[in-house]
Chains A and B, each alone.
Chain A
């Protein structure tokens, strides 16, 4: 008898939750046409975008596919006909270029997050300093390729500002995107790397990374990255894409973004 009561005690709240979710879905989706949208996101925003997609799929009839890559590569793919509906870049230049070239809808640009770059140097004694990097072999320091990754470009400029010689900088290890940098540092393949705050936060949260805060030098003032999204011409009449754009401004979605270490324009960093 007690077992049955206990079972009912577990099942009833679960049932109530399911019913509430069902009702909410039914209310929100009433009269809403279900659609699918492909969202191309900068590598640093991949995990956050997956969480947002899951949340939006729960409260709408729409389906979302997240395609991640470096900002420059995704922009090039879009210009070559890639079937994406929304582009969430790690900079403002590429979305603007797409608008200028007719691949994105003018006026749909919005900054959806402000990312932050950090120098992660595990095992360093004391707080990491940019200038001290020059004591390492350039090959043991890793950045995302500045040619197509905005976080890599910001890292490159930070190194230049720290008066590190051009010859040393030329020898630095460049990889495809910012997520790969995090992996290479975490696996010990390189001594230090320029990483996104969001990658460290989500990595620590899901248990794939162990990061000591004192091993990271945050470059907030020097290298805050305004990340812009834009509606692509292919997604202009796609209700799922429109819904995604609208939801980006809602408090619940902004909270998901903030939880992963991003800020919003005009906000001070509390780190």
Chain B
């Protein structure tokens, strides 16, 4: 059971770090997608959405190839830190950021598109700099998108399995997240422990989605 608590903590840490990293990464990307008329926009949209349809094994395989110590990126990381990116927590964070990107970008994209241009123009006429407009107009109006994106990204990262199995393995305290712990309990006939963790994840997933529908669906309107 202490091992399971470690897996719970590791999963929360991974999901938390991934969500926090995705806020600043996804925000400019979603803003550009919402506002740009560029011909390349649909191309970028397709690339961002790919983890939604790709089998996790495909993503896991390419990450394994790209991040292993023999590769350019993995070798660079290994030379600097002395640790391998594959089968490590840092590697899982990179994988999770890529894998959960659409879950953050798409809600933000939808919210940003709903921010009325005249409101921004009015703010500009009143002397608000682009930074002021972003902080004082866009962000408050985009609360719903951030809440939805945050909850969905966190929940999706908690449920990751295939990618972790491919490039994280099953190392306690490093890559043994909840889904892997459940898999191991089933493998070793420890069904009771598997039940406890699986039921916990079921409840968590339900609560996350309920939170999104309950609050993000009604309370935070983009424009009141």
Contact = CB atoms under 8 A, between A and B. Distances in A.
Interface of A: 38, 43, 46-47, 65, 67-69, 77, 80-83, 176-177, 179-180, 182-183, 186, 203, 208-209
B165 to A, nearest CB: 9
Contacts of B187: 43, 176-177, 179-180, 183
Given A65-B173, A80-B87, A183-B186, 19 more contacts: A38-B171, A43-B187, A47-B188, A67-B170, A67-B171, A77-B169, A80-B68, A80-B86, A80-B167, A83-B84, A83-B88, A83-B174, A177-B187, A182-B189, A183-B187, A183-B189, A186-B189, A203-B189, A209-B189
Interface residues of B, number: 25
Contact of B170 (A69, A183, A208): A69
B149 interface: no
Nearest to B86: A81
B154 to A, nearest CB: 27
A199 to B, nearest CB: 9
A82 B84 contact: yes
B169 A69 contact: yes
A81 B188 contact: no
B179 to A, nearest CB: 15
Interface string B171-191: 111100000000010111110
Contact of B85 (A69, A81, A180): A81
Contacts of B68: 80-81
A77 B87 CA distance: 8
B24 to A, nearest CB: 28
B86 A65 contact: no
Contacts of A83: 83-84, 87-88, 171, 174
12 contacts: A65-B173, A67-B170, A80-B167, A82-B169, A83-B84, A83-B87, A83-B171, A83-B174, A176-B187, A179-B188, A180-B186, A183-B186
A183 to B, nearest CB: 5
Nearest to A203: B189
